[in-house]
Structure 1
C-alpha cells in the first residue's frame, strides 16, 4: 500500500489507491462491493437531481423517481412547496405511488390504506381502535428528504447534514443560468422524455458527457446526416477556444461551441441557419424580429455540456439523467426541453423535439451509438480487471483559467478527472 494513501478502506483498497491523478482502477466498473458503497457514500449523501420545476406546475402535481436506488415521490404540496418523499409506507413498507407522474390530493397505501398528505404527513389509518395508545400519527409521516432548487433544477438528498445546494453547485451555477437562456427570453419547460437501459456501470455514462474526444468518431453517421452549417458548428476538434473546465465539486463544463456559451451575447452578425427559414417566417407573423431571433438561435440549445456530479447533465439542449441499478446496469433518461411561452412557440417546440429525436431519440443517430460504446466498455473492462482505465489525456497541457478552474482542450479528459476527484473524496470519507 502506497505511502500517500488517504481515506477509509474501500473493499480491500483505499479510495486513493483506486483513483490516481491519471488513471482509475478497472474494478470501478465491475466490483459489486464498490457499487454498494457508492450507493451509500455518494448517492445517499450527495445532492441528487430529481425534477425540473416545470414538471410540478401546481399543488398536487407529482412525479416518481429515485435517489440512487431509493424510490421517491417529488410533489408540490398545497402551499406550493416542493417536497421529496420516500415512496415507502410507514406501516409495512409498501410503495404508496406507482404512477410516473400526475396530480393527486395525497397518497394512499394499497395494502392497508394508510393515507398521507402531499406534505407526507400521515392523515388517516383505517380501524384506528386497534392503535389506541400505541400509534402517534405525527411521528409516522413519509420520510422527507431535504429538497432545494436552483434555476428550476430540483435536487434532494438523504443526508440531513449535507452542505447547502448552492454551495454544492458552486461555480456550476453560472452555467445553469446560461443553459436556461435557451428559452429565448421565456422560462424553460420539460417537453417529454424517453428512458433506456444500458448494460454498464453508471460512471461510464458520467464520463461521456464531457468527452469531446469520442464525438467525431462515434457520431460520424450523425455528422453525415445533418446540414453543412450544423456539421461545421460541431467541428470543434481543432478549435483552440473549445475547452473543458473543472468547476469543482466533481462538476465540469465542455464548451464545444464557445460562441453559443452565452446566448445573450449576440451582436446580430451570425446568420440564422437556412434550415429554419420556414420557422422564422411562421414566427414572424406574430413575434417581433428580436424575439424570433432569440428563440431560433437557441434551437440547438447552448454550445456546452454541463456535467453535475453525480447524476445529471445539462447537455446542449436536453437533460441527461442517470440512475444506477447495479454495478453493470444503468437507466438513462433523456429529457427534452423548450421555451414555455405563448402558443406561437408550439412550432418552436415541435421543431426542437424533431432535432432531439434526430440525435438523442431511441431511433436517432446519437443515443444508439453512445449506448453501444458504453456496453463495450463494460464488456472490455471485465478483462484484466487489474488493468487501469486511463484519464490522462491533456493533463500535461491543463492550466488554470482566469477563474482558477483547471482547463484543457475540449478533447481532453479534464471532466473525468474532476468527477473522479469528487468520487475519491466521497468514497474515502468514513
Structure 2
C-alpha cells in the first residue's frame, strides 16, 4: 500500500512542477526517474497514442511493431482487411511473438513454446494441445487487443477503454490533419520509408521542439545556407504572419509559411523557376498541366508543424514519432511520406527533400540532436531551476476557431502541451 501512495504522490508532485499560468516548468521533469515511470502510466497508458499509418499495413497479413510508452504492440491487418493493435506478448509465458519491424505473415508464433496466433490475435494452435484439456479453451487466450481507431489513415491505440473517441480527442487538430494530408498531391499519402535514432534526453524536450520556431534561424543556419536564395527567404519566417495556436488536449499547430497551409489553393499561379525540373519530369510522365501544378506544390510539404500529444508530429512533410525509453533517452522515428500511386518523379523528390533535412546525413536532424542533448545536460546543473515557456504570453489573441494564438515564435504550443500533461499527471489523485 505504501508503494501505491508513494507513486500517487510522485504524480501529484510532477503536476505541481508545471506552472502554466507563469509559463514555466521545473527542470526536474527532465531528469527525475520516478516521475518518468509515472508518466508512462498516467500519460502514455491513459491516452490515444500514435502507432502507425494504414499504408504501412496495406494488405491482408501486413504488420508492423510499435510501442505505447514502453509496452510493445503489433499493428496488423487480418484476412478481412480489419486493423488490430495487439499486445506483443504471448499469453503463455510472456515472450514477444514478433520482433520484425514490419512485414507480412500468416500468423504470429511464439519462439519459446510455439503458441501460434492469428492476425486478429486469436490463439490458433499450440503444441501438445491435449495437455490443456479441461484447463482452458483456446478462445479464452488470444493476444490481448487494444482499443484502436484511425483518422485520415493515422492509427492510434489506447489502453484506456473509457477514453473519449479518437475524433473527440483530436478535436481542433482534425482540421490541420486534413490539410496535412493534401501533400499527396491528389494521391493518398503513403509511408515511403523511415529511419530511427536515439538521443540522450527526455521525451518532453522533443515534445517542445516541433512547436518551437524560435530556434530555427540559430540551430539551422547550416540548413538555410544550403538552400537557394528564394527558398531561404521563405524560411526567414520569424517576423512573418505565421502563428502558434493551442488546439486543446495538448495539441498545437505552428504555422511558419502561411501561403503553404492549403496546398490546393492558388494553383493558377505559375510554377516558380526553381521547380522547373520537377515540373518537366512530371510532364514527361504524362501528367496534365493542372496535375503538374498540384504535384509540384505538394512535393515540398506544408507550411506548418502539427503536434499531436503525446508522441507524434505532422512536421511539414513527414511524421516525427517519439518513444520514451528512459528518463534520459528517447527514440525518434522519422517517417518519409509520399503519394500512393503518385508519379516516380514526385516520390523521388519527396525522398530527396526528406534526406536533405531529416536524414542521418541531413542538415537539420544532427543540429537538432545536439541542442536536445545540451538541454538534458543542462537540466542536471544545480538543485533547482525553472524551464521557461512564457514567450508571447502577454500578446495572445483568439483565433478564428476560438483558441489561444500567439506569434510564430511564441511558446503557446508548449504551454498547451504542458497543460494537458499537468491534467494527466494530476489524475494520480484519483488512483
TM-score (norm 2): 0.95
Report the Cα offset of residue 116 of structure 1.
0.4
Report the Cα offset of residue 12 of structure 1.
7.0
Report the Cα offset of residue 267 of structure 1.
4.9
Identify unmatched segments of 5+ residues in structure 2.
1-7
Equivalent residues in 2 for 1:37-76, closer than 5 Å: 37-76=38-77
Aligned residue in 2 for 1:258: 258
Equivalent residues in 2 for 1:98-113, closer than 5 Å: 98-113=99-114
Measure, in 1, the Cα distance between the counterparts of 2:252 and 2:132.
53
Aligned residue in 2 for 1:5: none
Aligned residue in 2 for 1:376: 374
Measure, in 1, the Cα distance between the counterparts of 2:232 and 2:367.
17
- Give SS of 1:167's match: helix
Asked if the contact 1:9/1:15 (under 8 Å) is kept, the reply is no
Equivalent residues in 2 for 1:232-243, closer than 5 Å: 232-239=233-240, 241-243=241-243
Asked if the contact 2:67/2:323 (under 8 Å) is kept, the reply is yes
Equivalent residues in 2 for 1:154-233, closer than 5 Å: 154-233=155-234
| Larger CA deviation: 319-328 vs 127-136 | 127-136
Asked if the contact 2:12/2:426 (under 8 Å) is kept, the reply is no
Report the Cα offset of residue 17 of structure 1.
4.0
Equivalent residues in 2 for 1:76-95, closer than 5 Å: 76-95=77-96
Q: Quick one: which of 340, 347, 350 aligns to 1:349?
A: 347
Asked if the contact 1:9/1:428 (under 8 Å) is kept, the reply is no
Aligned residue in 2 for 1:321: 321
Asked if the contact 1:210/1:305 (under 8 Å) is kept, the reply is yes
Measure, in 2, the Cα distance between the counterparts of 1:70 and 1:126.
27
Asked if the contact 2:30/2:327 (under 8 Å) is kept, the reply is yes
Measure, in 2, the Cα distance between the counterparts of 1:277 and 1:221.
25
CA shift in 2, pair 1:339/1:389, >3 Å = same
- Give SS of 2:43's match: helix
Measure, in 2, the Cα distance between the counterparts of 1:159 and 1:106.
27
Aligned residue in 2 for 1:25: 26
CA shift in 2, pair 1:53/1:263, >3 Å = same
Aligned residue in 1 for 2:271: 272
Measure, in 2, the Cα distance between the counterparts of 1:125 and 1:385.
55
Report the Cα offset of residue 304 of structure 1.
0.4
Question: Cα deviation per residue 1:225-251 (whole Å; 9 max; x = unaligned)?
Answer: 111111111111111x21010000000
- Give SS of 2:72's match: strand
Report the Cα offset of residue 265 of structure 1.
1.6
Asked if the contact 2:185/2:299 (under 8 Å) is kept, the reply is no
Question: Cα deviation per residue 1:342-388 (whole Å; 9 max; x = unaligned)?
Answer: 5xx11111111111111110000100000000000000001124101
Measure, in 1, the Cα distance between the counterparts of 2:203 and 2:276.
40
Measure, in 2, the Cα distance between the counterparts of 1:100 and 1:204.
26
The number of aligned residues is 419
User: Which contiguous aligned blocks of 4+ residues in structure 1 show a shift greater than 2 angstroms?
Assistant: 8-14, 16-21, 271-276
Question: Cα deviation per residue 1:260-301 (whole Å; 9 max; x = unaligned)?
Answer: 1111221523x4333321221121130111100111111220
CA shift in 2, pair 1:11/1:352, >3 Å = closer
Measure, in 2, the Cα distance between the counterparts of 1:120 and 1:46.
22
Equivalent residues in 2 for 1:325-344, closer than 5 Å: 325-342=325-342
Aligned residue in 1 for 2:37: 36
1:123 aligns with 2:124: yes
- Give SS of 2:197's match: strand
Report the Cα offset of residue 11 of structure 1.
5.5
Aligned residue in 1 for 2:3: none
CA shift in 2, pair 1:259/1:11, >3 Å = closer
Question: Cα deviation per residue 1:14-49 (whole Å; 9 max; x = unaligned)?
Answer: 513433321001111000000000000010111000
Equivalent residues in 2 for 1:129-148, closer than 5 Å: 129-148=130-149
Aligned residue in 1 for 2:289: 289
Asked if the contact 1:10/1:428 (under 8 Å) is kept, the reply is no
